[in-house]
Structure 1
Amino acid sequence: MLPLCSTRSCSLGKIHQARREEAPSRLICSLPDSLRLVVILPTPGFCSARYSLALILHLSLFMVYALRVNLSITIIAMTNGTSPGSLPNVSMDVCPNHSHAQPNGSHREFPQGAPVYDWSSKTQGIILSAFFYGYIVTQLLGGYWSGMFGGKILLGCGLLSTSVFTLLMPLAASLGAAYLIGLQALLGMAEGVIFPAQYTLWAKWAPPLERSRLMNLADAGCTFGTFTTFPVAGIICQYLGWPYVFYIFGGIGCVWCVFWFLLVYEDPASHPCISASEKEHIVSSLANQGSSHGRCLPLLAMIKSLPLWAIAVAYLCNDWLFYMLLTSMPMYMNDVLHFDIRENGLLSALPYIGNWLGTIISGLLADFLLSRHVFSTATVRKLFSGLGMLLPAISLVAVSYVGCDYPAAVGFLTLSMTIISMCGAGFNINQIDIAPRYAGLLLGITSTFGTVSGIIAPTAVGLLTSQDLLTGWRNVFFMTAALNLFGLLFYVTFGSATLQDWAREDTAVQ
């Protein structure tokens, strides 16, 4: 819709706006050199449309992960302390029972009206893994659809579907584990389109020297949702009953979708309130990357691309660690360290507080290094990936040796999840460097590899820990550390940040 003003009034408005913009510039120029940098740095972004998009995506991904992880903590109340193994030779009490839970691990403080299910550890592992059965199906489709139809509609529909499916979780659980597994798979399919759609949006909104900070600010919503949901879900389980976790979070998700569709715009050109200078800044900085892809894709060239394989392998190995902790950490807190559900929710959330802060800070640091030309883009991506994969692997090995030293165990797990956030400025956004036109599709491809880890990791944890908890968890931590080291070596060897020939708009489709 055109602005309701005359040509003369619009011209006057532009003159007044120019004068308002010049006044701060004159003020800044009059400051001493020591103070000028402090004033200039914050001004370009924080009141801009692109930072508003980052904030909206931050809150949207908060909801996405709140809906994703609530079952990880709720399943403890749903099974009411059902032990991970029922064999008489299982060494259950590896650590002293220091919490307010009963000695046998059963939590009688839950509301009486909430149903309880007798699911074995293997069944619980399959339920937690079922999300990724559906998630892997729509990763590639989400990347393709977002390139065809845009990221706004696809992400909004994915979030709305996820919220509705969450509301149905108590009903599915009452019908049986098979129904809950099926609904978890549907929920995974709904969420599978969200991250490829987000990358498609950022390919149109994020200038190259601001990608790390903008995308990491948005992605930090994932860990914000995680560390908020764990303790809140534990409190809701204890005082209201576990079904209310799904009702409350599912309802909030449905309401938030209304704001998403009202506030988000596909690109700067369609945004009604963006300033002319910001629009020009974004469009000019992205001029060389080309427009979104059409129906035809350079699939053969993608398959042959070693930089793309490097990102995919890094996703596969690193996401094993992330998803293992995301879905199984509450079980470790319950079964090995014997925290009750309130302590469990709080302590399971601590690592994600560090991850949230680390994600934001690492994005700012990466863009600082790039803008100051301290390192090349490829070096920054590999440096942050190296720190984000090597140090968490070392921390997990340390966890396997601290035994029942509760502060040390929680400390190393927190360190592991904090440092892994550095990958957000590493291989996690490398797709936009090598092929911005296909950012959503490539995220779908590489995230598919990561989703394989999400499918296998919870089930592997259930199998490895079903015989002996202490030995089983040690094997889980060692396997995870080894995978991270392999993925790091592969990425450092074959990774790149150069725009690929097959990703140029003027290149013939193969």
Structure 2
Amino acid sequence: MLTGWRLHVSKLFLIPQRYVLGVMGFLAIVNAYTMRVTLSVAITEMVEPSKASTHYDPDSCPGSLANTSSVTNSDKLYPWTSTQQGLILSSFYWGYVITHIPGGMIAERFGGKYSLGLGILCTAIFTFITPFVIYASDGHWGWVVFVRVIEGLGEGTTFPALNVLLAQWVPLHERSKIGTLVFAGSQIGTVAGNAISGALISVTQDWASVFYVFGALAILWVFLWMVLCYPDPETHPFISDEEKEYLRKHIAHVTRKKRQVPWYSIMTSAPVLALIAAQIGHDWGFFTMVTDLPKYMKDVLKFNVAQNGVWSSVPYIFMWLVSMTSGWVCDHLVAKRYLSVTLARKIFTTIASMGPAIFIIAASYSGCDRDLAVVMFTIAMSFMGSFYCGMKVNALDLAPNFAGTLMAIVNGIGAITGIIVPYLVGALTEDHTLMQWRVVFWIAFGVFAVTNLIFVVFASGEVQSWNEDLTDQKEMDLRKEQSAEKA
């Protein structure tokens, strides 16, 4: 009777369950990024206007800050310095880095469903209560740092858990498409976080509104996730027999047997180290844009909060479009054997590194031409969209059995740049001048170039030998010998 009921329910799901998981994974990252980046816009309306700088800048844009004065009531503005703002923006990543490896190991052992859901729930709750903490502490920046650290701890499990789920659910020939769909949620989350935050603050004249809205939406997602998604096809009660058999046939190199992580092999693997380098390069450039672009838009280009939210989000719309298109193109080229998996990962990662490096610099030399600067930033971030089918899914290529741990290592080390970049930008741009920001962008260019070179030389798209269990391999070899002797 129970089997018949499950069969009946499975017929109600016209969409294959791996695509349901892909869509919900996409929404997980959308929510994660809205909660992560919303402070980047909100903080421009939480801080008391800075006094006019006496620093000479021959490239300074004309006009005053009257156009960019805060819409928030003065009693909700705080005297945070540029360096303190950098610490506040970076503090999220202090917690984010810590939970990556534990989150990946927990996801591999118990499945990614609960580690992902509970992590997002933690971030959602602390996002929602952020205004209350700030009000209660009378705007002490140290308490804001504390809340952001806790949010980061919750969100640190996101990518490792999703990688484990993708390894269990997605065949190789669909990996770029579905992987790109899921991971491209970062662009949509950034777009929504920037655009909606700017509009909400402008309408409500209260920066607190964005924390309430995005925290509540993430809590709603957690409820739907717990109802709709499962750790693997074997435990899904409503999956069709056809899809389950299809996934059994096409998902290779993945076992549900609990095994020890080959730490030495991972940390001495040239392809893994190359992947870490590429992640550092991407994250350095991406966090420079995500965390600090709204500040650049306000301090240098003189956008008001509503304009800031819109124009800070435009580059990520195009980045998302390119990421989705490049995922399909990459899968097609690999499936038709026009490119090997290794070469495809290297080519698309290079596009995602050097394109942004060049056009971010071009944006800084656009001077006070706001339209041209937005166009240059948009082109830069568009190129970055091919990163997802390049190196972001590469951990699945190298070791699907340790996808969570490997993603945790790579993403966790890359996320250290999230600690460094906002603080460095804050320290380098105390006077809010175009010349100081140009230094920031040249540093990003150098990091992009060096890390991409390392990836091109040492990266691989092949399953590594340490992905397999040597004991199981010996048993298989012994059985083959025994069968041969009997024959």
Q: TM-score, normalised by structure 1?
A: 0.87
Residue aligning to 2:20 = 52
Residue aligning to 1:287 = 252
Residue aligning to 1:380 = 344
Letter in 1 for 2:332: F
Residue aligning to 1:249 = 214
Letter in 2 for 1:139: H
User: Is 2:114 aligned against 1:153?
Assistant: yes
Label 1:508 to 1:460 Cα distance change in 2 as closer, same or farther (>3 A).
farther
Q: Is the 8 A contact 1:236 1:244 kept in 2?
A: yes
CA distance in 2, matches of 1:53, 1:297: 26
- Which of residues 121, 129, 132 is equivalent to 2:90? 129
Equivalent residues in 2 for 1:23-422, closer than 5 Å: 47-80=15-48, 82-83=49-50, 88-89=54-55, 91=57, 94-97=60-63, 102=66, 105-107=68-70, 109-110=71-72, 112=73, 115-174=76-135, 175=137, 176-240=140-204, 241-291=206-256, 293-294=258-259, 296-422=260-386
Higher mean C-alpha displacement, 113-122 vs 443-452: 113-122
Q: Cα deviations across residues 429-483 of structure 1 (Å, max 9, x unaligned)?
A: 1111010000010000001221111111111111111146222111111110111
- State the 1:507 CA deviation: 5.3
- State the 1:2 CA deviation: 2.3
Identity of aligned residues (%): 34
Q: Is the 8 A contact 1:92 1:335 kept in 2?
A: no
CA distance in 2, matches of 1:186, 1:221: 22
Q: Is the 8 A contact 1:219 1:359 kept in 2?
A: no
Q: Is the 8 A contact 1:227 1:349 kept in 2?
A: yes
Q: Is the 8 A contact 1:93 1:336 kept in 2?
A: no
Q: Is the 8 A contact 1:293 1:438 kept in 2?
A: no
Q: Is the 8 A contact 2:196 2:309 kept in 1?
A: yes
1:288 alignment partner, SS class:
coil
Letter in 2 for 1:496: S
Residue aligning to 2:2 = 2
CA distance in 1, matches of 2:289, 2:14: 33
2:15 alignment partner, SS class:
coil
CA distance in 2, matches of 1:124, 1:68: 15
- Which of residues 459, 464, 469 is equivalent to 1:505? 469
Letter in 2 for 1:64: A
1:426 alignment partner, SS class:
helix
2:99 alignment partner, SS class:
helix
Q: Is the 8 A contact 1:290 1:504 kept in 2?
A: no
Q: Cα deviations across residues 122-169 of structure 1 (Å, max 9, x unaligned)?
A: 010100000011111111111111111110000000011010000121
Q: Is the 8 A contact 1:96 1:338 kept in 2?
A: no
CA distance in 2, matches of 1:90, 1:125: 23
Q: Is the 8 A contact 2:163 2:404 kept in 1?
A: yes
Higher mean C-alpha displacement, 269-278 vs 437-446: 269-278
Letter in 1 for 2:254: Q
Letter in 1 for 2:125: V
Letter in 1 for 2:222: C
CA distance in 2, matches of 1:260, 1:369: 33
Label 1:502 to 1:52 Cα distance change in 2 as closer, same or farther (>3 A).
same
CA distance in 2, matches of 1:46, 1:320: 41
Which runs of 5 or more residues in structure 2 are unaligned?
474-487
CA distance in 1, matches of 2:273, 2:38: 32
Label 1:123 to 1:199 Cα distance change in 2 as closer, same or farther (>3 A).
same
Letter in 2 for 1:367: D
- State the 1:86 CA deviation: 6.8
Label 1:272 to 1:5 Cα distance change in 2 as closer, same or farther (>3 A).
closer
Residue aligning to 2:457 = 493
Letter in 1 for 2:24: I
1:117 alignment partner, SS class:
coil
- State the 1:317 CA deviation: 1.4
- State the 1:388 CA deviation: 0.7
Q: Is the 8 A contact 1:292 1:437 kept in 2?
A: no
Letter in 2 for 1:251: A
Q: Is the 8 A contact 1:90 1:467 kept in 2?
A: no
Residue aligning to 1:25 = none
Q: Cα deviations across residues 314-372 of structure 1 (Å, max 9, x unaligned)?
A: 11111100011000000000000000000000000001101111121111111111111
Higher mean C-alpha displacement, 157-166 vs 278-287: 278-287
CA distance in 1, matches of 2:177, 2:368: 38
CA distance in 2, matches of 1:150, 1:196: 11
CA distance in 2, matches of 1:46, 1:418: 33
CA distance in 2, matches of 1:285, 1:473: 49
Aligned residue pairs, count: 466
Label 1:420 to 1:114 Cα distance change in 2 as closer, same or farther (>3 A).
farther
Q: Is the 8 A contact 2:116 2:161 kept in 1?
A: yes
Residue aligning to 2:483 = none
CA distance in 2, matches of 1:70, 1:195: 19
- State the 1:113 CA deviation: 7.8
Residue aligning to 1:41 = none
